[in-house]
Chains A and B, each alone.
Chain A
Amino acid sequence: SAVISQKPSRDICQRGTSLTIQCQVDSQVTMMFWYRQQPGQSLTLIATANQGSEATYESGFVIDKFPISRPNLTFSTLTVSNMSPEDSSIYLCSVEGLGSYEQYFGPGTRLTVT
């Protein structure tokens, strides 16, 4: 299994500001995934990040709002830009296990926008 860390674990931000979330994996992985989980809801995929190429965004998510970087095979960042209270969620990164099917998740970043 992969060990994934995320920074920050939680933050309280003001409306209109931006926050960058970091995701670090202890092994090289091809694909990393960024999810949003709004309060009381299931997970929604924001985008898939491959190293060396542009992230692929799901319907309803755009690069200007959620820019993603993937500079190498063990690291990725997600920025939540121009935040509003509706962006208050848990943001999770995940990777697919090497030689296995399951996706492993980081501990998540709890974001509150006031």
Chain B
Amino acid sequence: AQKITQTQPGMFVQEKEAVTLDCTYDTSDPSYGLFWYKQPSSGEMIFLIYQGSYDQQNATEGRYSLNFQKARKSANLVISASQLGDSAMYFCAMRETLNSNYQLIWGAGTKLIIKP
């Protein structure tokens, strides 16, 4: 079964609008972490934001926020005031604490295109 599901293969968003990228996960581990990464066309993987399963508040980093709904097992990334430079692939990933080799489990990604 898929542990990380990103249901949006691609999205087009108008510049300056907010965008939500969906991510749902599946784990029986009570302690886990959720990550979002950005991959521009250059290929580098850029860490955006992290949410721990026991964190009481949703994580925020500048224009990025993570809408963490634990009961629904969702960890959506919200980008406010989108910019042309936000056009990239976005990956959601999870690490389970019981997985002692620190392996990240990756979603299939969402290709975000910001329209001017």
Contacts and interface: CB of A to CB of B under 8 A. Distances in A.
A45 B106 CA distance: 9
Contacts, number: 54
Contacts of B45: 43, 92, 94, 105, 108
B89 to A, nearest CB: 9
A105 B91 CA distance: 13
Contacts of B42: 107
Interface residues of A: mostly helix, strand, loop or mixed?
strand
Interface of B: 33, 35, 37, 42-47, 50, 52, 91, 95, 101-104, 106-109
User: Nearest 6 CB-CB pairs, A to B?
Assistant: A105-B45, A108-B43, A102-B47, A42-B106, A107-B44, A43-B106
Interface residues of A, number: 25
Nearest to B6: A42
Contacts of B47: 1, 102-105
Nearest to A103: B104
A43 B45 CA distance: 10
